[in-house]
Each structure stands twice: as C-alpha cells, then as structure tokens.
Amino acid sequence: MTISGECFCGAVTYEVSGKLRDARSCHCSRCRKAFSSQASVYALVDPVEFKWLTGEDLLTSYTGEHGAGLKFCSKCGSTLCGIVDGDVHGVTLGCVNGDPEIEIGQHIFVGSKATWEVMPEGVTTFEEGPSSS
C-alpha cells in the first residue's frame, strides 16, 4: 500500500510506502494551538517508509523542549507531520490523500479538552496521554 499526502497549496508532497498505524485524536491545549482546531488527528508511520516527494525545501520545523515537534509548509501553513528528534514520527490525517484505510482508535488528553467541545458518544477516550498498544 502506498499512501500520499500534500499540503493545502500542493507545493509539498510525500509518500508512505507502508500502512499508517495507531491513529489518534489529541485534545490537549498544545495541539489545539498547533492545529488551530479542537484537536489534532495523527497516525504513526515507520520513518523508513516515509519520503518527501516535492517541496522539502519549503518545510519549516518547530521543535519543542522535549525533542518533539511539527513540520509545516512555509507557503500555506499546513501541518504535515510530527517529528521526534528530527525524524518523521507520524502524519496528520487531514493532509492524507484518499482513504488511508485507518480509523481513529483513541481520543487522548480529553481531560484537558476545550470546554466548548462535546465528545461524541461511543468513542474510546483517555483522560491523559496515549494508551499503550
């Protein structure tokens, strides 16, 4: 399976030559700010199965104090992936093209979700950080 993705303006594209895994939606205050949304939606990738196809020179990175961060398009601002110690750790599902054949398995950090967000009934939630799987 090959999965492709791109930013909003289409200048940055990537390919994942394997399956995405462990999809999650994070509702913490940091993700709300980073994604300008109620949550981030993210799936893990094997770094050796990920490659940039076009626009890698247009990427801007932000790395936080613990070595984890994001890469985003400097033209349109789309957040494309998460990084840990400089390596791609996962991709944002909003930038994936087509059907990545994955579903969100867990909603994490719902203990700090926005007061105005209502969680749907029946979803798997965790008050804090990701469950071990």
Let me know if residue 7 belongs to a domain.
yes
- Whether 27 is covered by a domain: the verdict is yes
In a domain, 61, yes or no: yes
For the chain, list residues with pLDDT below 70: 130-133
How many distinct structural domains can be found in the chain? 1
Give the pTM: 0.85
- The pLDDT of residue 21 is 95
Position 39 scores a pLDDT of 86
Q: What is the pLDDT of residues 102-126, one digit of tens each?
A: 999 999 999 999 889 898 888 888 8
What local confidence, expressed as pLDDT, does residue 49 receive? 96
Long-range contacts of 31-39, Cβ-Cβ distance < 8 Å, separation of 24 or more? 31/109, 32/114, 34/62, 34/70, 34/79, 35/79, 35/92, 38/113, 38/114, 38/117, 39/107, 39/113, 39/117
Q: Is residue 119 part of a domain?
A: no
| CATH for 82 | 2.170.150.70
The answer to the question of residue 68 being in a domain is yes
Residue 35 in domain: yes
Q: Does residue 12 belong to any structural domain of this protein? A: yes
**H helix intervals, 2-43:** 29-35
131 occurs within a structural domain? no
Q: Are 65 and 30 in contact (CB under 8 A)?
A: no
Residues spanned by the domain of 90 = 3-112
